[in-house]
Amino acid sequence: MPAFSYEAIDDNGLTVKGTIEADSPEAAEHILAAQGYIPTKVMARSKKSYAASGSFWGRLQASMNSVKVTELIVFTKQFHSMMKAGVPIVRLFQVLEAQTINPTLRRAFTQMIADIRQGSTLCGAMEKHPAIFSPLYQSMIKAGEASGTVTEVLERLTYIIEHEAKIKSDLKAALQYPATVLVALGVAFIVLLTFVIPKFIQIFKGAGLELPVPTKIAISMYEFLNNYWALLLGGAIAAVFALRSYFKTVGGRLFLDRLLLALPLVGPLFQKAALSRFASIFAILQASGVHVMTALEIVSATIGNKAISNQLDQVREKVREGQGLAQPLRSAKYFTPMVVDMIAIGEESGNIDEMLREVTAHYDDEVNYEVKAISEAIGPILMVGLAAVVGFFAMAIFLPMWDLTKIAK
C-alpha cells in the first residue's frame, strides 16, 4: 500500500508530522481526520523510501509489524463481545484502535473507521486489508451482513481461527522433534568427519597398516569434503534457492504438496489435517448462509494444499453442472469414504453442516493420534540412525587402533 508523508494540526493547535499508509492522498486525509487531525500537507513518499521498504530491514520491519494469529483471535473475540453488547460499529473500532499495540492493526482500524463513516460496509472496509483479513474472513462477514447475523458469524470465526491454529501447532509439534534430531545428526557427522578423523589419518598412514573398509570410506569422505567443500556449499545454497523458487510456482507447489501427502509417516497426518480443515470451514460457511459454490471456492483457496485444492476445483465444476457434492467427491483421491458418506447423508437429511462438524471432530482426534504415532515411530528410527553414525565412526577409528595394539605387542 502506498505511503504518504503528512503535516497536520492536532487538537492543541500544534503541527505534527509523520507517515501514513493509504490508497490515495484523499484516503490519507480521511484517515488523519478520523484521528482528530486537520491535514495541511499530504505528499507521496519518495522512490528512495519505497526502495528502502524492499530492503532487508524493510522486510524485517514488515515481518515485525505483521498480525499474528493470536492477535487476530483476540480482535475477533473483542469484536464479537462489543457487537453482542450493541456498541456502534464506529465506536467499536475506535475502542479497538485505542487499545491495540500492533501498528498494522491500528492503521487498519483507522482506515476502516474512515471507510465506514463514508458509507462503506464492514466487509468492504475489510477487503482493503487482505493481509489481515483472509478471503474466508471477508466472505463470512459479508454473509453475516447480508443475513443480519454478524455476531454469530464472529463467534464461528473465532472457533475456526483457533481450530486452524491448533491444527498448525499439532503439525509443528509432530515435525519439530525429528527435524531437530536430524539437524543434530548432520552436525555431529560433519564435526566427526572434519575434526576427529583427520587426527587419526596420519597415525594410521605412518604405521603402514592395511586399513579396514570403514576407515577407508571415512578417509575418502574427509578428503572429498576437504577438497570440494566450497563447491558443495555453493551447490547446496544454489539448490536451496532453486527449490524455493520452484516451489513458489504453481507446478512446484503442486509437486511438493503431492509429495507431502505421499510420504509414509507424515502423509496421512497432512491428509487428515486437510480434511479436518475442509470440514470445519465448509460447515461454518454453510451455517453462515454462504452459497455452496462460493463455499467451495473459499475452501479451495484456504485448504493449504494445492493437490487437494485442485480436486476441489474439479468438484466445484461438477457441482455447477448439478451433480450434487457427495458424488463428485467420490472420484477425488484424497477424500476418504467417511467424508463422502457423511456429506451424502447430510445432503439427504438437509443438515450437511452438522455432519461436517462430526467429521471435523473425528479428524481432529485422528490428527492427535497421528502426532502420537509419529512421535512413537520416529524415536526408534532416529535411534537406529544415531547408532549407525556412531557405530560407523567407532569402527573407522577403533579397528585400526586394535591393529596398532597388536603390532605394539
Reading the chain (409 residues) residue by residue, the pLDDT tens digits are: 567 777 776 666 566 777 777 766 767 777 777 666 767 777 776 444 443 444 444 443 444 457 888 888 889 999 999 988 888 888 888 888 888 888 888 888 888 888 888 888 898 898 888 888 887 788 788 878 877 888 888 888 888 888 778 877 877 777 777 788 788 888 888 888 888 778 777 777 666 667 788 888 888 888 888 888 889 889 999 999 999 999 888 889 999 999 989 988 788 888 988 898 888 888 888 877 778 888 888 888 778 788 998 999 899 988 888 888 888 998 888 999 999 999 999 888 888 888 988 998 898 888 888 888 877 777 788 788 888 888 888 888 888 777 677 665 5
Q: Tell which residue, 303, 130, 116, has the closest CA to residue 295.
A: 303
Structural Rg of the chain based on CA atoms: 29
If one counts every other C-beta atom within 10 angstroms of the C-beta of residue 244, the result is: 10
Euclidean distance between CA atoms 39 and 16, whole angstroms? 9
Judged by phi (left if over 0) then psi (alpha if -120 to 50, else beta), residue 21 lies in beta
DSSP string, 87-106: --HHHHHHHHHHH---HHHH
The whole model's pTM is what?
0.66
- Supply 347's cell numbers: 445432503
Contact 248, 353 (CB under 8 A): no
